[in-house]
Structure 1
Amino acid sequence: MTLFLTEGEVTDLLDMPSVLDAVEAVLRHHAEGKATNRARRRVSLPTSGLNVMFAGAPEIGALGLKAYTVARGGARFYTMLFDPESGELLAQMQSDKLGQMRTGAASGVATKHLAREDASTLGVYGAGWQAESQVEAIAAVKKLERVIVHSRTEESRKAFAEKMGEKLGMEIETTAAAEEPAAQDIVVTVTSSSSPVLKGEWLKPGAHVNAAGSNFLMKAEIDRAVAGRASLVAVDSREELGLEAGNLLSALETGAVLPEAVRELGSVIAGHVPGRRGPDDITLFSSQGLALEDLAAARLVYDRARERGVGREMDF
């Protein structure tokens, strides 16, 4: 029998520390040749689109895919989890919250491995739903003394600051000055902008940047100077460089960064390539999102659902 889990049930079964651990582990498995991932494939129609991404990670008992549609009425996300031994469909789950959590977790893992040990301030570009898990994940891996957010409207950034400040138990500042978040130890871009919101010239020595809002080639939240100044540029998967990494496209096409210099985050986690070399290095993680990250979170959800008797059994 297959377990079906609703959005609310998935939300109740997830917590950021556990998702951080799951994402970090599966990225290490990928680097060690113990997991496989395939880049997102898209079907675009005049009024809607279908996106599918799939992967397998036998070390955690996960094989499956995430599929989602985007239309004028919004987006709908589903993950299917199979047993890699028997091929049995273990679960189908609604996975909007799951995707938000794993995206934040990927930035949290990158921050853990690439930011300075003493990094304590965070600047955020974007005040939407995806920005929430970015701040939550980074706060889970670093002791933050200051968080400051910039977005297009004062209303959105103030609402974000109030909500996340209450959740994290700290004051979150807002600013109308676009360059101010860039002056922090850790910088996150998580916007829907198709043109750069972060300029490399604004970054201070030693900064770590998580660019998490672009998964299309025609979208770029950071200018090429961000990547050009970085001593290390990391991605989820090098396979996606020519498919989705819009945040890196300008730097790659102009030679500011060579494709061969781009590393996978999992290789840093596994110790196969060095991460930060010195306190003044600027490091960059360009996040596109992997099916492996979704499946790691989905396996966590499935195991907890079985333990707690959550979900509905269905015979497909």
Structure 2
Amino acid sequence: MTLLLTEGQVEELIDMPATLDAVEAVLRQQAEGRATNRARRRVALPKSGLNVMFAGAPEIDALGLKAYTVARGGARFYTMLFDPETGGLLSILQSDKMGQMRTGAASGVATRHLAREDARTLGIYGAGWQAESQLEAIAAVRDLERVIVYSRNEQSRKRFAAKMGERLGMDIETTHAAEEPAAQDIVVTVTSSGGPVLHGEWLRPGTHVNAAGSNFLFKTEIDREVVKRAAFVCADAREELGLEAGDLMPSLETGAILPEAVYELGQVIAGHVPGRKSPEDITLFASQGLALEDLAAARVVYDRAVERGVGQKIEF
């Protein structure tokens, strides 16, 4: 039997603590050669596009793919979770919320391992839906004393501050000064901008940066100075450097950073590379999003659905 789970059901079943743990565990498995990921593949048509990502992680009984279409009416996300032993289709999950949560969780895991232990302030570029899970995840791994948000639209950043402040029980500041969020201990970029919103000259020593809004080669939220100043740079997977890592591409093309100097977040988690070496280091995580992260979150949701009797069972 295959379990169908809607967006509403997924939202009821998923939470950030479990997603953080699941994403961290599967990235460790990837680094240790115990999980397999394949980068996103895209089909572009005049009025729509299809994107598909694949992965397998036998230790969490997860094999599958995420597929999503993008058209004038918006994006539609679906994850198919298979049993790696039998090949049976366990579940089809609507995956918009799940994708938001795993993207935030990846930044949370990066922050857990790369930000200074005493990091207490967060600056966010972007005030949209994706920014919500970024804040939620980072607040789960660091005891934040100050959060400040910048976006081009004043009403958007004020709505975000009010909504997330109430949800997390904290005061969230907004600013019209683009350089102010960059002066914090942890900085996140998660915007729809096609050009840099964060400039390296604004960063202070010791900052950790999560660049989370770009997964196209022609889109970058950070300038080359951010990459140049970073003592440590990592991504979800090095496989994506020539495919999707738009935030790193200008620096890679000009030789400002070599591909060999970009590590994988899982290598840090597994202890294969040290990551931050000094309190003065600037560290950078270029988040692209992996199918492994989607499957790790899907497994959490599916197991909870089975336990609680949620979802519609169908037989093919």
- TM-score category by the smaller chain? over 0.9
Name the structure 1 match of 2:28: 28
Deviation per CA, 1:259-288: give whole Å up to 9, x if none: 100000000000001110000000000000
Match of 1:310 in 2: 310
2:190 is equivalent to residue 193 of structure 1: no
Q: CA deviation at 1:254?
A: 1.3
State the match for 2:282 in structure 1: 282
Per the alignment, residue 261 of structure 1 pairs with 261
- Give the CA RMSD over aligned residues: 0.4
State the alpha-carbon separation in 2 of the partners of residues 60 and 197 from structure 1: 38
1:4 — aligned with what? 4
Count of matched residue pairs: 316
Distance 1:24 1:227 in 2: 24
Q: Which residue of 2 aligns with 1:204?
A: 204
Runs of at least 5 residues in structure 1 that lack an aligned partner in the other structure: none
1:42-66 per-position Cα deviation (integer Å, ceiling 9, x unaligned): 0001110000000000010000000
Q: Distance in 2 between matches of 1:35 and 1:51?
A: 21
Instruction: Name stretches of at least 5 consecutive residues in structure 2 with no aligned partner.
Output: none
Q: Distance in 2 between matches of 1:86 and 1:177?
A: 55
Give the distance between the partners of 1:63 and 1:104, measured in 2 at CA: 22
Distance across 1 between alignment mates of 2:131 and 2:250: 24
Q: What letter corresponds to residue 159 of structure 2 in structure 1?
A: A
1:153 to 2:146 alignment: no
Cα distance, 1:253 vs. partner? 1.0
Q: Which deviates further from its counterpart, 254-263 or 292-301?
A: 254-263
Q: After TM superposition, where is structure 1 displaced by more than 3 Å over at least 4 residues in a row? A: none
Query: Matches of 1:17 and 1:226 in 2, distance apart?
Result: 30
Say which SS state the counterpart of residue 289 (structure 1) adopts: coil
1:178, distance to aligned residue in structure 2 (A)? 0.3
Q: Using the alignment, how far apart are the partners of 2:260 and 2:237 within structure 1?
A: 13
Deviation at residue 5 of structure 1 after TM alignment: 0.3
Aligned partner of 1:166 in structure 2 is 166
1:129-170 Cα offsets, whole Å, 9 max, x none, are: 000000000000000000000001100000000000001101
Query: For residues 118 and 253 of structure 2, what CA distance do their matches in structure 1 show?
Result: 34
Scaled by the length of structure 1, the TM-score of the pair is 1.00
SS of aligned partner of 1:293: helix
SS in 1 for 2:247: helix
Q: Give the C-alpha shift of residue 202 in structure 1.
A: 0.2
Distance in 2, Cα, partners of 1:8 & 1:171: 28
2:257 is paired with a residue whose SS is coil
Tell me the residue number matched to 1:59. Answer: 59
Deviation at 1:222, TM superposition (A): 0.2
Residue 225 (structure 1) aligned with residue 210 (structure 2): no
Kindly state the Cα deviation for residue 315 of structure 1 after the two structures are TM-superposed: 1.1
Q: Secondary structure at the match of 2:248?
A: helix
TM-score, normalised via structure 2 length: 1.00
Q: Which residue of 2 aligns with 1:103?
A: 103
- Percent identity, aligned pairs only, is 79
Other-structure match for 1:137: 137
Q: Distance in 2 between matches of 1:177 and 1:240?
A: 33
